[in-house]
Structure 1
C-alpha cells in the first residue's frame, strides 16, 4: 500500500524440498474444505461431502459469540468462503509431497513416487497444504514444483503470538501427466527467523488420488495429455511440443511481489508525481506471452493483496483477500499457433509484463504448457491464418494539488486464428482477447491519506470450427479494488477496503448454451490500530467479511463470513 507505513510493515518477502512418501487409504467419498479451520463445519478427507458442497444452508451457531473490545494475542484460524474441493465416490490413495519447517530461503528438495493401489488413470487429484506458525512473522510467498512443473503457488497468513493453523486445497488433476512417474520435488516458502521475527512456517503437503470412478470419463476429456515446461536456450526460453498437438494452453503464475513497489504495482505513479512508489509509466500492467517474437497472448494480472497488504495486517488475520492462499495461473489459449509449433523444433516463448520499468525486479512468471494430442495422427500440420494485435493504449495523467491525483486508462486487444489438419478434419480456432484498466489514485502530502478506486477487465472468447457445430466459450473477468488508508494526528491508522473477483463464462454449441458459470467473490474490511508502538499497545479493532457466490450449470455455492476483532461472528451457507 502507501509507503507511509513502510517502516511499520515491510513488504512481503519473495518466495523449499526429504523424500516424499506414499500411503494408500481407501475411502468411499471425500470432501475437502478449502482453508478450513478448527471451528468450521467442513469435513475431513474421510468424511462424506459437506453441506457446503451440497448447497445445504447452514448458519452461525445460535450461542452468542463473545467479541473482545480489541484484538488480543490470538484469533480465529484463517479461512475463506471458497467452495470445498470434493472428491468422487472412489478408492483414494495419498502421497506426502513435503513435510518441512521453513526458517530461511533454503528450498526443500525431495522425491515423488506415484501412489500404489489406485492405478494411473485418476478421476481427480487434490493437493492439500496444512500449515501452522506462531509468534511474529511477515506474510511469505511460496511455490511447489513437481518435476519442474509449478503445481501450486501460495502465500501465508501472519501469525498470532499464540499460533494459528490453516489449510489450503487445490484441484490439480490437470497435472496428471506429471504425476504418472517418479519426479523431483522442490518447495520454498522463503522466510526469515531471528530475534524479532520468530515465526517458523511448518507445512505438510499431500496429494490425494481418486481412482477412476463415476467422474472419470468427464474428467479425462478435460485433462491434457502432456504438461511441459520451458527449456533454457541461447536465445531465451524455448518450447518443443509433440508433433500431433491439437490444443495448447499456456499457464503463467504471474505475481508482483518480492518487496518493493511492484508488490503494489496498482499504486505506482509516474516519475513526476511526489509519491513513494514510482514507475516509468504508472500503474498499467499487462502480462504478455510471445511465440518466436510474435504476440501470442495478453491478459490483465489479478491485483492480489497479500496478508500484510494495504499497511494493515488486521484486515487479513482471519479472512485473506481473494486468491491470496491459492494463486491462480493466467491461462492463454495458444492453439492458433499449434500448426507452427508442431514442426518438431524448439520455439522461443517469452513472458513479459508491460509497464514495469527497465531493470525493475519484482515479478515472477513461471510457465507450464498443457498439450492435448491427436490420437489418430502422429503429425498434425497447420498454420496461422490471421494475427491482429491492436494498439496498446496507456494514458496516465498526474494532477497536482492539496490532494494529488493520478488517473490511468489503458487497454489492448488481440485476435488470432489458426488451423490444424487433424485426424477428424480441418479445425480452425479463433481467440479474441481484450483487456482494460481504469484507476483513480488520490493522496495527500506525506501520504497520510492514500486511496485508490480501480477496475480491470479481461474478456476472452475462443471459437473452434470443425466437423460438426462450432463451439464458442466466452469469459468476462472483472477485478475491482476500492480503498483508503488514513493516518490521523493521533497515529491511528485506518484502512477501509473492498476487493472483487468476478467472472462470467458461457459455452455455446449451435447457438445454444451448453454450460455456464458466474463467480462473485467480494471481500470487505475496515481496521484501525495505533502505529509506532509495541504490539500490546496498538489497540487494534477491525471488521472483515467475504461473500463468495458461484452459480452455474454444475450447481451453486454461496457462503458468507464475517469477523470482528478476529472472532468469527458469521458463517452462513446456502443457495
Structure 2
C-alpha cells in the first residue's frame, strides 16, 4: 500500500483572520512551583502494570511540560469571554465587559481556555479576538472515543489597554461534525485579572484598518505581532516538506520549503522572521504521537515579533501607513497562511509629537536554493539565508534615541523519500538571530535573541501496512542582554519532543493495534531561575512526570 505522506490532518479548516517566551499551554495537571523546584513528582503517574499492550478507547488527557503561568497572590477577578460548542464554521460572538472589582490597572492578566471533546475528530485551528485584537491562536487535540479534556493558559497582560473598555468578542474553532466525525468542541474561555502593583504594559494596542496603521504622533516604541500559521488543509500546513515542481512528491509548492515571514511599511522591507515549524496534533501521518503530549506551540501559537521602532519617525506623522505581511516561498496567489497583526505602542508621556527619521535599511541578498536529486531515495536539499538591518532615531523628551535592529535567518534541510512515499523523512534546522540596540540616554543596551528550531523524523509504511513514525522536534532560544558592552542578564530555553508510534494503516479505528512512546522535556534557565520538567507516555498512559533542577 503506497500513500502520500500528509503530515497533518487539519483538512478543510480555514482560519478566519480579522507571547512571548513564557506564554504557552498549561499542563492538564499542574504542579506547584515549589514542587518543580524540589524535584517532586508533578502529578500521579502509572506504573508498568497499568500500561496496556496497545492503545484502547481512552487515554490520558493532553498534558505538556510547558511552565504554568505564574499567578500573583492577592485579589483577582474572573471574566468569562466565551462559552461555545463548535460544530461548524460559525463564529461565537459576544461582548466583553471589564471586571468591576479589580480596578483598571492590573499586575497580571491570564487567559485560560478549557475544552472537552469525545468521539472522532480531526485537529482544528482557532482564534479568539477582543475588539479585533487577536489574543489567542490555538489548535485542538484529537479525542478518544470516551472523551478528553484539556486546557491552555497564556499571559496576556500586554493587551491590558484593550481590556480597559467594553469590546466585541469573536471566537472560532472551525469544525465539521457529521456521521463520521462526531466530536463537538465544547470550550470555555476566561480572563483572570490580578490586582497589585500594575505591570508596565503598552500604552496602545492597535490593529490594521484596511491594511493601514495610524499610530499616535508621540509613539516611541512600536512592536508588531504576527500570529503566522500555515493552515487550511493544504500543503502550506506542512510547508517544511514541500518540494520544487520537478520532484515527484505529493506536496509541490513554489521553489521548495524555504519560508520567511516579511513585514513592510509603505512598501519598504521592515522586518524578516523564520516561521516556527508547528506540527499539529494529526501531524506526520500519525495522530498517536500527539494524543497526550502535543508538539511545541501546538496549543498556543506564539506570535512573531518585529521591532518597528526604527520606522517610528515615519509613522509618527499622524497619517495612515500601509502595512503588508507576506510569506516568501509560498505559491503566489494560493491561500494557506493566516497573518493577523497586532501593534503594541509605547508613547512619550511628555511630548505630543515625537519626530525622527529612518537612517538605515539594508537587506542582504536572499538565498533560497533547493536542489532535487532523483534516485531510489529521492532527495531535496535546501539552503536559505537572509539578513536585514534597519536603524532609525527619535528625538524624545529624554533625548535622541537611536534604535538598530539586525536580523539574520538561515534554513538547512534534507528531505528524502522513496517511490510512493512509503518512506519519507526530513532533517531540518532553522535559525533566527536578532540583535536590538537602543542607544540614547545612558550606555547603549543590546538584546540578542538566537532562536533555533529543529525537526528530524521519518515515516515508514511496511509491507504489512504497519505505519511507523519516529520524530524529534526542538524549540530553543538563548536571550542575552548587555549594557555598555557588559553582560547584564540571560535566559536559555530548550523544549524537546520525541516520539515513536506505530499502527496498522487502512483499517477501522478499532483494528489499528497502535503503540507509541512519546516524551517532552522543557528546560528554562536564567541567573536566578530554573525550570526543568520531563514527561513520558506509553500507549497513551502517562508514565513519568518529573520536575526539578
**TM bracket (short chain):** over 0.9
Using a 3 Å threshold, how does the CA distance of structure 1 residues 443 and 304 change in structure 2: closer, same or farther?
A: same
Partner of 1:132: 116
Partner of 2:207: 229
Partner of 1:205: 189
Using a 3 Å threshold, how does the CA distance of structure 1 residues 105 and 62 change in structure 2: closer, same or farther?
A: closer
Partner of 1:13: 13
Displacement of 1:58: 1.1
Task: Classify the secondary structure of the residue corresponding to 1:517.
Answer: strand
Partner of 1:26: none
* CA distance in 1: counterparts of 2:426 and 2:24, whole angstroms: 33
Displacement of 1:12: 6.5
Partner of 1:36: 27
Partner of 1:322: 296
Q: Which has the higher contact order (CA 8 A, sep 6+)?
A: 2
* 1:62-84 superposed Cα distances (whole Å, 9 cap, x missing partner): 87241000000000000100001
Partner of 2:4: 4
Displacement of 1:10: 6.3
Partner of 1:58: 40
Does 1:471 pair with 2:455? Answer: no
Partner of 2:52: 68
Partner of 2:85: 101
Give the count of matched residue pairs.
Answer: 540
User: Quick one: which of 142, 151, 155 aligns to 1:158?
Assistant: 142
Contact 1:81 1:547 in 2 (8 A): yes
Using a 3 Å threshold, how does the CA distance of structure 1 residues 554 and 333 change in structure 2: closer, same or farther?
A: farther
Using a 3 Å threshold, how does the CA distance of structure 1 residues 99 and 136 change in structure 2: closer, same or farther?
A: same
Contact 1:55 1:557 in 2 (8 A): yes
User: Quick one: which of 119, 133, 137 aligns to 2:103?
Assistant: 119
Partner of 2:20: none
Displacement of 1:359: 1.6
* CA distance in 2: counterparts of 1:62 and 1:119, whole angstroms: 41
Does 1:81 pair with 2:65? Answer: yes
Using a 3 Å threshold, how does the CA distance of structure 1 residues 6 and 557 change in structure 2: closer, same or farther?
A: closer
Which stretches of structure 1, 4 residues or more, deviate above 6 A after TM superposition? none
How is 1:424-443 mapped onto 2 (pairs within 5 angstroms)?
A: 424-443=398-417
Displacement of 1:212: 2.4
User: Quick one: which of 513, 527, 531 aligns to 2:501?
Assistant: 527
Does 1:304 pair with 2:278? Answer: yes
Partner of 1:380: 354
Structure 2 gaps, min length 5: 17-22
Displacement of 1:532: 0.7
Structural RMSD (CA):
1.7
* CA distance in 2: counterparts of 1:154 and 1:285, whole angstroms: 21
How is 1:385-534 mapped onto 2 (pairs within 5 angstroms)?
A: 385-534=359-508
* CA distance in 2: counterparts of 1:433 and 1:346, whole angstroms: 26
Q: TM-score, normalised by structure 1?
A: 0.92
How is 1:256-267 mapped onto 2 (pairs within 5 angstroms)?
A: 256-267=230-241
Contact 2:217 2:316 in 1 (8 A): yes
Using a 3 Å threshold, how does the CA distance of structure 1 residues 50 and 149 change in structure 2: closer, same or farther?
A: same
Contact 1:381 1:421 in 2 (8 A): yes
* 1:246-272 superposed Cα distances (whole Å, 9 cap, x missing partner): 000000000001101000100000000
